[in-house]
Amino acid sequence: MNILILQFQNSGGPEAFGDTLKACGATLDICNFDSGGTLPAGIDGYDGLLVLGGVMNAHDDADYPYLGDVAAMIAEFHHAARPVLGICLGAQLIARALGGRAYFHNVPEVGFVEVSLNGEAAADPLLAGLGTSRHIMEWHYQTFDMPPGSHLLATSELCRNQIYRVGEATYGFQCHFEVSQAMIQDWTASSLSSLPDDDYHNSFVATIDDQIDHHISGSLAFCETIAARWTDFIGARRAA
């Protein structure tokens, strides 16, 4: 099983999600644009596509000209019914690729946030049995309109569109469920000089260690379950 991973910045790899994918037998082919990577010529040879997060916005083609090609590749995987999963920017790029749009949200969402799973999630192949809520890491300033035909699976208080599915095999996760503790600490440390000096972000910085202590184990368990199920899901569709 070969999974193509699109990575947009060196500090934004697949982390805990990638570790479980490999433990489940998947081969990961990472295209890291931040290190000069380029998209493959097509989707042949790939059983699934993972699109990660990044600091850019989903329509920032002027500064990141490869984004249009990324959107086109997402659409190609989707229309070929090969599984796609996008995280944060990846979820926004799926929306762009399939007829939605991404745009700046009215409020930021940073830190561990309660994500509520709805009744449709209870019957979803990736989310069934995972309860009604989880605290998952967020770090985004944009949101998106879901593309036509989407099924909303989870929400949060500040940002409604958290997890969605388009068709049977394309998933978008606004939340950063892939993160490890080390990744969160690295992101926080490297962003201290650039975060706005306001109550919201100051509270995030002041409490992030406590947030990690309370929520990282549950987040990692959620990640491992999603990764294992997604690997099984890809394998089943490949066999069919």
Whether 76 sits among the annotated catalytic residues: the reply is: no
Could you read off the pLDDT of 50-105 as tens digits, one per residue? 999 999 999 999 999 999 999 999 999 999 999 999 999 999 999 999 999 999 99
Give the model's confidence band at 239: pLDDT under 50 very low, under 70 low, under 90 confident, else very high: confident
31, 176, 215, 223: the catalytic one is 176
Whether 175 sits among the annotated catalytic residues: the reply is: no
31, 88, 175, 223: the catalytic one is 88
H helix intervals, 98-196: 181-191
Cα atoms in the Cβ-side hemisphere of radius 13 Å centred on 139 = 22
Q: Which SS3 state, helix, strand or coil, does residue 165 take?
A: strand
In eight-state DSSP terms, residue 184 is H
Whether 176 sits among the annotated catalytic residues: the reply is: yes
Strand partners, 31: 6
Please determine, for residue 13, whether its predicted confidence score (pLDDT) is greater than 90. yes
109, 178, 215, 223: the catalytic one is 178
Could you read off the pLDDT of 142-184 as tens digits, one per residue? 999 999 999 999 999 999 999 999 999 999 999 999 999 999 9
Map out the domains of the chain with their CATH numbers. Answer: 2-239 (3.40.50.880)
Give the model's confidence band at 240: pLDDT under 50 very low, under 70 low, under 90 confident, else very high: confident
Q: List CB contacts of 152: < 8 A, sequence separation 6 or more.
A: 118, 120, 146, 160, 161, 163, 164
- Encoding tokens for residue 199? 């109550």
Could you read off the pLDDT of 100-134 as tens digits, one per residue? 999 999 999 999 999 999 999 999 999 999 999 99
